Structure 1
Amino acid sequence: MKLKGKDVTQLSDSAWLMDLAFLNDISEALAKFIVQLQGKNKLVHELFKHLRTFERDLQLYEQSLREHKIDLFPTLKGVFDGSNENLGGYARRVAVLREEFSSRFTQFRSLRSAMTVLSLPCSCEISSAPVEIQLELNSLQEDDILVQNFNKLNLIDFYKSLPVAEYYNLKQFGKKFVCMFGSTYSCEQLFSQMKDVKTKLRSNLTDRHLLDSLRLCTSSMEPNIDNLVEKIQHQPSH
């Protein structure tokens, strides 16, 4: 860079290098958190768990910086010049970030106890659940077969397996949370598939065909081809 006449005075400034290293460590932590929120079939309570975990991570980061400990910041540790003056400023920046997260998602925070019931129906505190499902939860927790199913099935399949006659309210309770869009993954996937499906080479594609094609691209359901073929009326040869 010097040979090209570029100004690289920052690279010899220890304070600037520490700022850059701190930014890198925090950005890496944020990127890891965002990746945890991505992906298919993520339910709201799982995403909220990642959010609460990240908030606690921020508390640890802030506390460590205030105590002049930088083991949680590997890049910063590599360029640390032994001066603790900048660490207090970093701690304040982490505190601002933590407060920003704390001020958001208030609606989901009010549903925290309900999410616990959703994710742990066989062991949750029944008194913390909505009144309309308390009796059904009591019956569920005493049913050994259903408890075994909970340990074997994923959460969605478990709620599907509950008998409607005995657990109608509990199934409705589960549906309410399963239908919540925890992330924009489905929307992003839809627009991504739309670019592949609707191209200039497929000018005869109608809106109806587009809807059907997008549904096939984004659905996790496997079509029963053999059953569909059997239902087709065969054309006998003349």
Structure 2
Amino acid sequence: MARGPDSARDVSSSGPPTVLEIYSDFCDLPYHTAVRWLSCGKLLFRFYSLRNEIDVFLTKKDRADPQVSDPTWLSKLSFLVDITFHMNELNLKLQGKNNLVYDLYRIIKGFWRKLSLFEAQLERENFSHFYCFKGFCATIAEDVNLNFPKKIIRDLKKYFLKRFSDLDRIESDILLFQNPFDCNLDDVPVGLQMKLIDLQTIDLLKEKHREGKLVAFYRCLPDDDFPKLKNFAADIASVFGTTYVCEQTFSKMKYVKSTHRTRLTDEHLKAILLIGCSNSKPNIDDILKAKRQFHKSH
């Protein structure tokens, strides 16, 4: 029986595992599993770690593939394993219900700077952040062609600039939302400038902002004194940076609306989804105490 994601080692938090750990996990995998818990990065790493065993197996079956032993192809594969590992880390950081748009913008900006670092280090043939690629380069005598890794990094940088250009256009608003006490008033909309000056003189609100809970900070602002600033904050906080919440809701609906629930009405489906997507925990004891009769037939 295949092990679930909780039992598999989390390579995103502690770096790539050893070949022995990968091999032991690989042996537990069946030929088919209905639960797709293997991410692309983990699957690539497992294949790369077992490339010699796979080559031997295919050769014994008279189905040898020359690419499995081709140094040029393996060098590309090893680099793809590493860059996919970094992409998986980014993907995990972007997930979650409570991420505001400024959190996502900070994460994306940070990853773009990492890509710039990777690009500069590749020019100097420094492979410190590419575990598999560095190990592969150390095992071969000839120099590795770096054109492929450099192209991958350049293409990723271009893609990120294009894909997240919408966030760049509202960068000033995001930074203002993140810290209204440290902003250039010339870059702030005219309707907010005077109120921002008033806000920055209130020490109690500064202390509240230092707690790090932005939603709670803007919620505590007096409605009469800062109506436009609160509306501005509400607009930024309501921006969906990812489709994670929508996808999670659809996943719950697919689980609830199964073939075994053929009599499930739209009203009941809506009620179940509201319960499943809510963070509120019902107090079962109080609910039961309020009920005098638990079943109509009794």
Taking structure 2 as the reference length, the TM-score comes to 0.70
1:55 maps to a residue whose letter is W
- In structure 2, distance between residues paired with 1:220 and 1:115: 26
The one of the two structures with greater contact order (alpha-carbon pairs below 8 A, sep at least 6) is 1
How far the C-alpha of 1:228 sits from its partner, in A, is 8.7
**Contact 1:21 1:79 survives alignment (8 Å):** yes
How far the C-alpha of 1:23 sits from its partner, in A, is 0.8
**Contact 2:75 2:144 survives alignment (8 Å):** no
- In structure 2, distance between residues paired with 1:136 and 1:225: 46
- Describe the SS at the equivalent of 2:216: helix
How far the C-alpha of 1:56 sits from its partner, in A, is 1.1
| CA gap 1:222/1:153 in 2 versus in 1, 3 angstroms | farther
Q: CA RMSD in A?
A: 2.6
- In structure 2, distance between residues paired with 1:113 and 1:38: 24
- In structure 2, distance between residues paired with 1:181 and 1:63: 33
Give 5+ residue unaligned stretches, structure 2. Answer: 1-56, 294-298
- In structure 2, distance between residues paired with 1:83 and 1:104: 37
How far the C-alpha of 1:94 sits from its partner, in A, is 1.2
- In structure 1, distance between residues paired with 2:285 and 2:196: 40
Give yes or no for the alignment of 1:156 onto 2:205.
no
- Describe the SS at the equivalent of 1:6: coil
The 5-angstrom pairing of residues 83-232 of structure 1 reads 83-84=142-143, 86-152=145-211, 154-221=213-280
1:99 maps to a residue whose letter is K
- In structure 2, the partner of 1:58 is 115
- In structure 2, the partner of 1:43 is 100
How far the C-alpha of 1:5 sits from its partner, in A, is 2.5
| CA gap 1:186/1:69 in 2 versus in 1, 3 angstroms | same
- In structure 2, distance between residues paired with 1:153 and 1:22: 38
Count of paired positions: 234
| CA gap 1:97/1:82 in 2 versus in 1, 3 angstroms | farther
- In structure 2, the partner of 1:72 is 129
Taking structure 1 as the reference length, the TM-score comes to 0.87
Give 5+ residue unaligned stretches, structure 1. Answer: none
More divergent stretch after superposition (79-88 vs 136-145) = 79-88
